[in-house]
Homo-oligomer: A and B are copies of this chain.
């Protein structure tokens, strides 16, 4: 582990996983709208939402995706990590009251480059709502101890 309690690249192996979960509230949607400026009616207007294929308001896809960033930045690898890339496929909508489980699983470790590739998935009630892949750079004990 590094001094910030994140995993060093030397601590990480294929198959390790971490997760978090959050119940999405109306307040989350309002705050995310303020931050993102994404005022699409499908997120804010219940009457309009009812006329869509979703049958009501849905959360911003990036709101659920941000939970993946949280797992990477706070759990695995955790503090010290640098986010390099993320792919996201939005598979199903998330509604107010849904509890989103965000899970990351290590699928590849390149120790020399301190590079980690992780499967990233968000589920609601066991159903996949987002899948994709993250690439991050972890801290390195070898590099730290060599003073570079």
Q: Of residues A60, A70, A89, which shows the largest number of chain B Cβ atoms within 10 Å of its Cβ?
A: A70
Number of copies: 2
Contact of A74 among B40, B61, B86 (CB under 8 A): B40
Kindly state whether residue A146 has any CB partner on chain B within 8 Å: no
B residues near A41, Cβ cutoff 8 Å: 4, 79
Beyond A85-B89, A90-B84, whether A73 also contacts B32 by CB under 8 A is no
B residues near A79, Cβ cutoff 8 Å: 40-42
Measured between C-beta atoms, what is the minimum distance from A64 to chain B in Å? 10
Q: Which positions 64-96 of chain A face chain B at CB distance < 8 Å?
A: 65-67, 69-70, 73-74, 79, 81, 83-90
B residues near A88, Cβ cutoff 8 Å: 85-88
Kindly state whether residue A47 has any CB partner on chain B within 8 Å: no
Measured between C-beta atoms, what is the minimum distance from A98 to chain B in Å? 14
B residues near A36, Cβ cutoff 8 Å: 63, 66-67, 69-70
